[in-house]
Amino acid sequence: MAESLLDIGFVGAGEMACAMVAGIVSKLNPKSIMASSPTGATKLDRYGAVCSKSNSEIFKNCKIVVIACKPTQVPDILKEWKDSVKKDSIKASGVVSICAGVKLSQLEELNCPVIRIMPNLGVRVGAGTLPYCTSANCTEDFEKSVMSIFEPLGLAVKVPEKFFNAAQGISGCGPAFIALFIESLVDAGVREGLTRDVAWRLACQTVYGTGKLMLETNTSPSDLKYKVCSPGGVSIAGVVSLEKTGFRSSVIEAHRATIEKTKEMERAAQGMN
């Protein structure tokens, strides 16, 4: 009976499943969260989730199934799902996959609504970025219930699957680019005599505050830049210097490099290299 089902179950209980559960327990009773892995999903014990060694227990007991194992393990999960279908023991109304490079077409054989989503590490602090796309048979109800549960994790943004790699290049790889930018600002401050700790806190909060301000006030990057750069002032001097050394094109090229690499990995995964 639907009433007795748990809200959500994770197949795989590694780094990302733990980060997601840490966030969603602020909204869900931990006892309505289940997780499975070959070693018993013990990493999720500390959140009070129901842990198991059996993936089919998740299919049988949870409304939403999240596939959170390594992409190479997905074929095994699909096989277990089909075995459960034969036994008529699936109660889940749909599946969410967080596995990098696993496309909706690969998940079609599940024959149920599917959401492909790519959380980034920001979910640990409720400030993740989660681009997602949905299968053709995904219902509005399923999408709404998943997004409602994931709401404490950060900002989810729907994109067509053909743009998924572009979205992932921003939200998945962006944290590494931004960390590099922060590190550069810290080095700059240290060169002028600031302690590393002070420079680090100033740089982190400045990046955080800038993103928050732009999102919350719907301010475009150019509008914000114009506000900060007063005529003949110090900020415009810095911006002009960044333009001279190709900052903007470096970032755009770095993003393109992530897409090329993703395509190379997708070809390798399909045995085309």
Ligand X SMILES: NC(=O)c1ccc[n+]([C@@H]2O[C@H](COP(=O)([O-])OP(=O)(O)OC[C@H]3O[C@@H](n4cnc5c(N)ncnc54)[C@H](OP(=O)(O)O)[C@@H]3O)[C@@H](O)[C@H]2O)c1
Residues that bind ligand X (CB under 6 A): 11-17, 36-39, 55, 68-71, 73, 76-77, 98-100, 118-119, 121
Rounded distance between C-alpha atoms, residue 156 and residue 163, angstroms: 15
Distance in Å, CB of 264 to ligand X, minimum: 16
CB nearer to ligand X: pick between 77 and 112: 77
The length of the chain, given as a count of residues: 273
Distance in Å, CB of 111 to ligand X, minimum: 20
CB nearer to ligand X: pick between 47 and 229: 47
CB nearer to ligand X: pick between 32 and 37: 37
Using Cβ positions, the residue closest to ligand X within the complex turns out to be 14
Distance in Å, CB of 266 to ligand X, minimum: 13
Distance in Å, CB of 202 to ligand X, minimum: 27
Helices 234-244 & 247-269 angle (0-180, nearest 10) = 50
Distance in Å, CB of 42 to ligand X, minimum: 8
Phi-psi region of 6 (alpha: psi -120 to 50; beta: other; left: phi over 0): beta
Going by the DSSP 8-state scheme, the letter that residue 103 receives in this structure is -
- Cα–Cα distances (Å) from 119 to 19, 94, 151, in that order, read 10, 18, 12
- Residue in this structure with the two tokens 């095994």, named with its chain if needed: 76
Q: Are strands 114-117 and 62-67 parallel, antiparallel or unpaired?
A: unpaired
CB nearer to ligand X: pick between 107 and 186: 107
CB nearer to ligand X: pick between 114 and 118: 118
Distance in Å, CB of 107 to ligand X, minimum: 13
CB nearer to ligand X: pick between 98 and 186: 98
Going by the DSSP 8-state scheme, the letter that residue 136 receives in this structure is T
CB nearer to ligand X: pick between 72 and 241: 72
Distance in Å, CB of 225 to ligand X, minimum: 31
Rounded distance between C-alpha atoms, residue 188 and residue 95, angstroms: 47
CB nearer to ligand X: pick between 73 and 139: 73
By three-state DSSP, how is residue 54 classified? coil
Distance in Å, CB of 187 to ligand X, minimum: 26
Segments in the chain forming alpha helices (H)? 15-24, 55-61, 74-86, 104-107, 140-150, 164-171, 174-191, 196-216, 221-228, 234-244, 247-269
Cβ-based neighbours of 226, under 8 Å, separated by 6 or more: none
Rounded distance between C-alpha atoms, residue 223 and residue 232, angstroms: 17
